[in-house]
Amino acid sequence: MSDREQLADQIEPVNQGIADTLRATSDDWWSRASRAVDYLASTGRPFTAYDLVSVCGIEEPDRPASQWGSLFSAKRTAGVIVHAGFVRSPRPTVKGSACSQWIGKAAPIQSERSAA
């Protein structure tokens, strides 16, 4: 069972729609898009879904609204990213509509005493 399918099973009791979308998404796209979110989250800079396309070269999914939404919801649930407000969409195909911005969730800072 793939990570995507396991995640769908975990999310299903809470959100059937996201679980269904996860199951309908290809393993290849999900894997590459998931790694791209992990990379962008690690930079410490805010990013949008379009950055996965323009910076990381991830193609648009078959069902953009539901598949991007499922990806970011899953990454937020996993504690990888947090919502960082809204910005005007940088996509050239839209006219500056509002779009979610995300940032990597920082690991808790440990003092030297607690790290020992």
Q: What average pLDDT values come out for the chain (116 residues) when binned by 10 residues?
A: 81 83 84 96 95 96 85 90 94 88 74 45
* Verdict on whether the full-model pTM lies above 0.85: no
In this predicted structure, what is the pLDDT of residue 114?
A: 43
* CA atoms of 116 and 111, how far apart (whole Å): 9
In this predicted structure, what is the pLDDT of residue 2?
A: 79
Count Cα atoms within 13 angstroms, Cβ side, for 78: 19
Could you say which of 1.10.10, 1.10.3470, 3.30.1490, 2.30.30 is the CATH number of the domain covering 3-105? Answer: 1.10.10
**Which residues, 6 or more positions from 55, have their beta carbon under 8 angstroms from its beta carbon?**
36, 40, 47
In this predicted structure, what is the pLDDT of residue 26?
A: 84
